Amino acid sequence: MAKKPEKILKKKDLKGLMKLLTSSDRYYRERATETLEDMGKDALKDVLQISDHPEPDVREACALILGTIGGSQAVSRLNELQDDGTPWVRRAAVKALSRLRSDKALPGLRDRLQDSDKSVREAAARSLGEIGDKSCVSDLVGVLNDDHAYVRENAVRALGRIGDRKAGEAILERLDDDDPYVRECAARTLCLLGSEEAAARFDLKVAKESRHVVIAMASGLGRLGTPGAVAMLRKWAAGGDTIAAEEAAVVLNDLGLPAAPKATRKKAPAKRAPAKPAGRKTTAKKTATGKATTSAKKPAARKTATRSRSTTAGKATARKPAARGAARGKTGGDQK
């Protein structure tokens, strides 16, 4: 028995795959689902015929296959399966339609926001966000007060994906939500939408929030990136709340910004040039004409034992006659 199903899967025998899809064996039913998805439009006709099978698990599998194959026939049948009596079949149809992103699926998906099963409402909100049609904004805002947190969270996330700023005021209210994950999602979405009011609301709540919500607020302000958002991050970084200070400092560092703005520096006074050494004193001298002239005072000359020319010359002239006389006397004596 084990070999036969494996042969069917390997050969992609369509009739055999339909039998496996309706079998009670969950393992081979899932294997058949994957194989039929790979076959694409070649399997469309047979899947459509079996999609009204009395077994809910089979209808669920057919919805998943149709969401992969696509086409107008698949969309039409999936819209019908959104009204199926079994919640998980409806959920599968909703998820399949989100893959196809068809405008024809919007009316049914809007209706599923009011489904009696919370998992279907959650899937419908997510699907509308993935399709991204702005005509669904009012419908998603309407479920922000849903009784279940998962539905509110997915509605907030869907509004962020659609990107309509008109939803900002409604999302601001989710900052007071009882569920911390809804508050976290609201903080990220508000900054994604560019809400200028988000920073002021964050500042009122940051001291009482859990770490993962504070992280969402800080990273959201970093994404927002406006002067007001940066100023708020710097305020937190310098504040007394430890968690907010840490997360704000991390975001500012990622942005390449200092934790505090640079102080305006006063220009340093210009440095004065060093005073030049005082010049040599000059003394005025009078010339022969009586006019005063200035001349630099020369350093005092060393005292020497030199004699003046006049005294030297005088002594030299006094000696010469004596020398001559002596010479004459000596000469005269020799002559005698």
In this model, does residue 218 exceed pLDDT 90? yes
Give how far Cα 57 sits from Cα of 70, 117, 123, 143, 224, Å.
Answer: 20, 17, 18, 29, 45
pLDDT in tens, 14-66: 999 999 999 888 999 999 999 999 999 999 999 999 999 999 999 999 999 99
- 282 forms bridges with which residues in the sheet? 296
Handedness of CA 224, 228, 234, 236 (dihedral sign): negative
Q: Please name each of the domains of the chain with its CATH number.
A: 3-205 (1.25.10.10)
Q: Tell me, what's the pLDDT at 60?
A: 95
| 208 in Cβ contact with 180 (< 8 Å) | no
- In sequence order, the 6+-apart residues with CB closer than 8 A to the CB of 286 are 292, 293
**DSSP secondary structure string for all residues of 149-178:** HHHHHHHHHHHHHHT-GGGHHHHHGGGG-S
- In sequence order, the 6+-apart residues with CB closer than 8 A to the CB of 292 are 284, 285, 286
Rounded percentage of the chain residues whose pLDDT exceeds 90: 63
Please tell me the least confidently modeled range out of 84-88, 102-106, 139-143.
102-106
Token pair of 310 as six digits:
């006049």
Per-chain mean pLDDT for the chain: 82
Q: How far apart are CA 256 and CA 250, in angstroms?
A: 10
Burial of 35 (0-12, 13-18, 19+ CB in 10 A): buried
Strand 292-296 and strand 282-286: pairing? antiparallel
Please tell me the least confidently modeled range out of 119-133, 216-230, 244-258, 274-288.
274-288
Q: How far apart are CA 81 and CA 74, in angstroms?
A: 10
Choice between 33 and 310, residue whose per-residue pLDDT is larger? 33
Please tell me the least confidently modeled range out of 97-106, 210-219, 252-261, 303-312.
303-312
Look at residues 195, 181, 110 and name the one whose alpha carbon lies nearest to residue 152. Answer: 181
The verdict on pTM exceeding 0.85 is no
pLDDT-derived band at 73 (thresholds 50, 70, 90) equals very high
Q: How far apart are CA 79 and CA 91, in angstroms?
A: 11
Choice between 261 and 250, residue whose per-residue pLDDT is larger? 250
